[in-house]
A and B are shown apart, each in its own frame.
Chain A
Amino acid sequence: MLNISPIFNAMLRNKSSVILMVLQVALTLAIVSNAAYIINERLELMQRNSGLDESQLFSFNIFTFDKTVDIRQQLELDEDMLRAIPGVNDAVAINQVPLTGSGDSSGYRAQIAESGAKIVEAGVFRADAHVLKTLGLTVIEGRDFTQDDVIYATGASQPNTVIITKAMADQLFPDGHAIGKDIYQFQQPLRIIGIVKHMQGSWLDSSYVNNNIFLPVVHPRSFKRILVNADKTAMDKIMSNISERMLALNKGRVVMEPIKLAEHLRDQYQSDNLMVNMLIIIICIILFITALGVAGMAIFNVNRRKRQIGTRRALGASQTNIITHFMIENFLMTTIGIIIGVVLSVFLNGYLMEYFSSSRIAISYIIVTTIGLVLLGQLAVLFPAQSAASISPAIATRSV
């Protein structure tokens, strides 16, 4: 026998304390559901597959200040030396390293620039024929570069062949036939000879993170990046004396600290990680405060209504009836709070979408938060309700 209507009517006659509770539940629902959704959004972002085995890769920069050094020749010597180190699988001089947050990008079209065809933005990776092997990538269609594809250029001259990621190929050629086609940055055609399945570029938050193009061109410049693929177990040892080895070959340069790709990746996601941790803490604090609020309000109500509770007991309420009374009361308040909270959630989500590039909240987050809040409320009210049930009926005659 549920006594909802008289409890509800009594609540309506006690608006001020009810409003407080209802608002708290509503705000909790709005904040917690949105925070949980953002957490999930960020986690999904962080769990994306980079296409690379970051734990096997590290990179470092070199700056050659000795103007007498023949950089092209020196790069070849460096690469040969690096590739010969035990534990190193491959190494390559490259213009940018994926997942680091800095690099080059350009726009490419399926026809010459003047055609006005759609531009597809992509990260541009320039290196010799070792590039895919060093990155740990293989072509899923076509072929890898050979040393014949590679050109050494000081100016803007372009190679004839390119390899692109599947994502980029799909955007350039939606019909699916990219191999053997030419694409253009300017007028010169670049023939697609291979397609790799997947690789994330340098900017993890960019919309074209999966569009990447490999050009077999080496620019012998004083500032170069070197990417090394090494066995996990040998990484630290190799990294520790990489600088000495490099300087042993040529002293006319600065070799900067090698950094693992895994570390770059962590840095890239640092703000996301921070956000996730902060939101988790906020959720915990808010839920804790809400539980305290519910319990506090219930304890206050129990004390305020001692005589009423005693009277109800005298009139035939069992202890269970008293507990149920408080549970129902809490459930009703929570329910009203939830109805308002759902509306608030959607508004808050709209605001976040507009100003913080969040996406439309999944309804499941609101539902799960709702269920959680109902349970939390019932749990928080249980102890005060039990203490109400233990009030002696005699209080009805004792206190005047």
Chain B
Amino acid sequence: MLKMNNINKIYRTDLVETHALSEFNLNVKEGEFVSVTGPSGSGKTTFLNLAGLLESTSTGTYELDGINVVGLNDKQLSKIRNEKIGFIFQGFNLIPDLNLFENVDVPLRYRGFNSKERKERIENALEQVGLAARMKHLPSQLSGGQQQRVAIARALAGTPRFLLADEPTGNLDSLMARQVMELLEDINKSGTTIVMVTHDPDLARRAERNIQIVDGQVCDFTLYQNNKAATEHAISA
């Protein structure tokens, strides 16, 4: 599903060059549920942005669903984002001036579906997250957990192959976080590949596979633990 090889991502500002990802390698198989953890600033969001085609790599190869996406133009990238990828953000990112129905409608309109198909998909998606009754409400009239469920409905409505979530529960209390997690697990069971960045070790453990990113590289979990222990040992010594 996702194949990243020797990816480098360098952010350049006037003052510094940040190697957000270096020699990054990762394979995610179709239907997997992968959780991504790591210290703050280690490059998790950067990885997700590259994976979701929100940013381009500096060097390296990236194949998504069999397509080499390096070097595609804006229109082609937008189309892949629209058709194959669903995004869930920590801040929900619902559009405040649109009601729930219209929010879920946003990617479907870019897709070019006719109004009948859009209506069906929107209603199904909102049904799935349990908010069909509140279609005409504005995001500001919902709780955080409900907003995130709308965002999930929006990500699902286009039936993407691949769902990317950056700390989807980061702004939610534990009860709501659990509900959202259960929803994601359901979605995964129906065949959608999910990559989820999280700070919550409990949630991370619930995924099939957990990868750690440290200093812009995928880190072998045990190796990381050993290093950490060694470092701590060195400091205490």
Q: Which residues of B contact A320 (CB under 8 A)?
A: 75
- A397 adjacent to B89 (CB under 8 Å): yes
Q: Which residues of A contact B171 (CB under 8 A)?
A: 400
- A312 adjacent to B106 (CB under 8 Å): yes
- A317 adjacent to B54 (CB under 8 Å): no
- A315 adjacent to B106 (CB under 8 Å): yes
Contacts A9-B102, A315-B87 given; indicate if A397 touches B166 (C-beta within 8 A). yes
- B102 adjacent to A318 (CB under 8 Å): no
- A6 adjacent to B110 (CB under 8 Å): no
Task: Annotate A316-343 by CB proximity to B: 1 below 8 A, 0 otherwise.
Answer: 1111110000000000000000000000
Min Cβ gap A314→B in Å is 5
Stretch among A126-134, A174-182, A264-272, A388-396 lining the B interface: A388-396
Which residue from chain B places its CB closest to the CB of A316 in the assembled complex? B82
**Interface residue A156 (Cβ < 8 Å from any Cβ of B):** no
Contacts A13-B97, A311-B95, A397-B49 given; indicate if A321 touches B78 (C-beta within 8 A). yes
**Interface residue A398 (Cβ < 8 Å from any Cβ of B):** yes
Count the A residues whose beta carbon is within 8 Å of the partner chain — how many? 28
Contacts A394-B49, A396-B93 given; indicate if A315 touches B54 (C-beta within 8 A). no
A317 to B81, CA, bound (A): 9
Count of A-B contacts judged by CB separation below 8 Å: 95
Q: Which of B55, B74, B82, B102 contacts A315 (CB 8 A)?
A: B82
- A319 adjacent to B109 (CB under 8 Å): no
**Interface residue A198 (Cβ < 8 Å from any Cβ of B):** no
Q: Which of B93-133 contact A (CB under 8 A)?
A: 93, 95-99, 102, 105-107, 109-112
Which residue from chain B places its CB closest to the CB of A311 in the assembled complex? B93
**Interface residue B91 (Cβ < 8 Å from any Cβ of A):** yes
Which residue from chain B places its CB closest to the CB of A308 in the assembled complex? B95
**Interface residue A10 (Cβ < 8 Å from any Cβ of B):** yes
Q: Which residues of B contact A10 (CB under 8 A)?
A: 95, 97-98, 102
Q: Which residues of A contact B111 (CB under 8 A)?
A: 316
Which residue from chain B places its CB closest to the CB of A12 in the assembled complex? B97
Min Cβ gap B13→A in Å is 14
- A316 adjacent to B54 (CB under 8 Å): no
Min Cβ gap A61→B in Å is 75
- A313 adjacent to B97 (CB under 8 Å): no
Which residue from chain A places its CB closest to the CB of B111 in the assembled complex? A316
Contacts A313-B78, A319-B74 given; indicate if A6 touches B166 (C-beta within 8 A). no
Q: Which residues of A contact B183 (CB under 8 A)?
A: none
**Interface residue A357 (Cβ < 8 Å from any Cβ of B):** no
A100 to B52, CA, bound (A): 81
Task: Annotate A351-377 by CB proximity to B: 1 below 8 A, 0 otherwise.
Answer: 000000000000000000000000000
Contacts A10-B98, A397-B166 given; indicate if A1 touches B82 (C-beta within 8 A). no
- A397 adjacent to B45 (CB under 8 Å): yes
Which residue from chain A places its CB closest to the CB of B97 in the assembled complex? A10
Q: Which residues of A contact B55 (CB under 8 A)?
A: 392-394
Which residue from chain B places its CB closest to the CB of A307 in the assembled complex? B93
Q: Which residues of A contact B25 (CB under 8 A)?
A: none
Min Cβ gap A399→B in Å is 8
Q: Which residues of A contact B81 (CB under 8 A)?
A: 313-316, 393
Which residue from chain A places its CB closest to the CB of B75 in the assembled complex? A318
A396 to B86, CA, bound (A): 13
A118 to B81, CA, bound (A): 85
Q: Which of A252-279 contact B (CB under 8 A)?
A: none
Q: Which residues of A contact B74 (CB under 8 A)?
A: 318-319
Q: Which residues of A contact B149 (CB under 8 A)?
A: none
Q: Which residues of A contact B83 (CB under 8 A)?
A: 316
A391 to B107, CA, bound (A): 18
Q: Which residues of A contact B53 (CB under 8 A)?
A: 393
Q: Which residues of B contact A3 (CB under 8 A)?
A: 109
**Interface residue B36 (Cβ < 8 Å from any Cβ of A):** no
Q: Which residues of B contact A396 (CB under 8 A)?
A: 54, 87, 89, 93
Q: Which residues of A contact B87 (CB under 8 A)?
A: 311, 314-315, 396
Q: Which of A5-42 contact B (CB under 8 A)?
A: 6, 9-10, 13-14
Q: Which residues of B contact A13 (CB under 8 A)?
A: 97, 138
**Interface residue B90 (Cβ < 8 Å from any Cβ of A):** yes
Given A9-B99, A308-B93, A314-B93, 10 more A-B residue pairs with CB atoms under 8 Å apart are A9-B102, A13-B97, A314-B54, A315-B106, A316-B110, A393-B53, A394-B49, A397-B45, A397-B48, A397-B49
| 16 pairs of residues in contact across A and B, judged by CB atoms under 8 Å | A6-B98, A9-B97, A10-B102, A308-B95, A311-B87, A311-B93, A313-B54, A313-B78, A316-B81, A316-B158, A317-B110, A318-B75, A318-B79, A318-B110, A396-B54, A397-B48
- CB-based closest 8 A-B pairs: A316-B82, A10-B97, A318-B78, A315-B107, A393-B54, A311-B93, A316-B110, A394-B54
